[in-house]
Amino acid sequence: MATTEQPLYGGWRRSRTLGIGSLSTGQTVIVVGAMLAPIALVNMGGGLSSLTVTVPVALAVIALAVWQRHGMPLMSYVIGLGRWKMADLRGETSYRSLFLPAPESLDLPGVAAATKLIRADTGDGRGPVGLVWNQRTGHMTATLLLSPAGALLASNPDVRRNVSSWGDVLANLADEDTVEAASVTLQITPSSGAALSEHVRGRMDPAAPRLAKDALHELVGAAPRASAQLTAWMSLVVDPNRAGDKPNGPAEAAAVTLGALDGVDLAGSGADVLRRASDRDVKRLVRSAFSPGDSDAPPAQIDELVWHEVGPVAAYDGRTVYEHDGYLSMSWVLREAPRKPVPYDALLKLLAPGQFTRRVTLAYRVLPTEEAAAVVEREVNASDARAEYRARTKRSATRRERVDAEHAERTAGEEAVGAGMVQWSLYVTTTVEQESDLPAARREVDKAAKSSGGLRFRPAFHGQAAALVVGLPLGINPLL
């Protein structure tokens, strides 16, 4: 008998290391060091009078390490702010390609400066492929253009099969020695409906029945109020040097990358592969992120662009806003995954068309089998150590701590019987044309995030430029 119960998914947990209570290893080291430093100075001959200085400093350091702001230690926030201010004073947060000396003027800004676009002609009749080569790490990134299938009208068995198939895709990537990471991006661009109107007008049969023409005109007339263009792609980050035979030069590295890309099978996962992204496709995706007005540029105009021209002419990386070529973008990073099980459509509100352009990226780091085993054992050991600490201090475990320990044990059990393991995060970027639209764009993302099953985000403080390029097919993945 068919079931109508909606499937739920969950069990995600933040990776945790050994530490006192809920503190990480780094926080624990800082706290213990700050507590011992005043005593050590006294023993070294500083005298008790030195405590009037060292104790307040130690307490301030402990407070910075323990207190949380936006889901991260306050010390991390202060260090990030300090580094950003120093970079701002040195002019490193501004980018003006016209005034940069060679060869810097031929690079994209920020963390994308080391990338270079390579056109690979495979000779298999499927057209050229655009590969992004990171000259610093040696990684190559290939991209598949996707056509997501809607699941709102799908039956629960179909949804379960799609989710299971996607899990199989990630598990299979863990068996590929050369695959380092993957990401899936959906870009939702509001549309006036003009493109749809032109499309229908050019294909309408003059001899069609009057009723059919009226129905089409009515649908097209309603489109501008809720029309949007959806672009989706999956990027695969490959390390060719991990292949059995180490490649000799970019040509052989490109062959290894294309082999890994052709091994990705998305059948049954709810998305159809349109084609492998060409060099033109990659340039269009990157250029449309920095200048959304060029997203519909003619193919000839895109072909004329060299790699550094797909980036911005001028940009400024602010604390919470990234300014680029007359546009302003804000990016958020995942702060906390849902604590409770969520339905398959938990991200629907976040992916729904809105007033402003939005790009949502799921970034994955696929753990090799041997590394996954070490990670889950480390997590279980850290959970056991925290339990031992609570026993010694005679403190009862909170409900959240018990659930976290159960998730760690379950993850270890699933990995032991062959399940794949990935680290993942979520990034959201919205782009506006006017500074006055920033508050409305921020509210739009906040409202959508709150309706997404308990996802919590924080702004990408002092890293807006880096967060923006994470969603592009450049192979920039913070999980690596």
Tens-place pLDDT, residues 74-98: 888 888 888 899 988 988 888 887 7
Task: Give the number of other CB atoms < 10 A from CB of residue 18.
Answer: 16
- Does residue 216 fall inside a structural domain? no
Distance of CA 60 to the CA centre of its chain: 34
Can you tell me the distance from the alpha carbon of 86 to that of 91, in angstroms, rounded to the nearest whole number?
Answer: 9
Q: Which residues of 356-380 are buried (b: 16+ CB within 10 A; e: fewer)?
A: bbbbbbbbbbbbbeeebeebbebbb
- Does residue 124 fall inside a structural domain? yes
Q: Which range, 30-39, 54-63, 351-360, is most confident?
A: 351-360
- Does residue 113 fall inside a structural domain? yes
Tens-place pLDDT, residues 378-398: 777 777 777 777 777 777 777
Tens-place pLDDT, residues 19-42: 776 677 777 888 888 888 888 887
- Does residue 244 fall inside a structural domain? yes
Q: Domain containing 285: what range?
A: 96-191+227-367+420-470
Cβ-based burial of 460 (10 A; exposed 0-12, middle 13-18, buried ≥19): buried
Write down the residue that tokens 């308990």 correspond to: 454
**pLDDT (mean) for 223-230:** 65
- Does residue 454 fall inside a structural domain? yes
- Does residue 199 fall inside a structural domain? no
pTM of the model: 0.85
Nearest-CA neighbor of 350 among 342, 341, 358? 358
- Please say if the pLDDT value at position 132 is more than 90: yes
Number of domains in the chain: 1
Is the distance from CB of 177 to CB of 476 less than 8 angstroms?
no
- Does residue 265 fall inside a structural domain? yes
Higher pLDDT, 422 or 311: 311
- Does residue 146 fall inside a structural domain? yes
Spatial CB neighbours of 278, under 8 Å, sequence gap ≥ 6: 119, 127, 128, 129, 130
- Please say if the pLDDT value at position 1 is more than 50: no
Tens-place pLDDT, residues 146-198: 988 765 556 777 878 888 888 888 888 888 889 999 999 999 988 655 566 66
Tens-place pLDDT, residues 428-465: 999 999 999 999 999 999 999 888 878 889 999 989 99
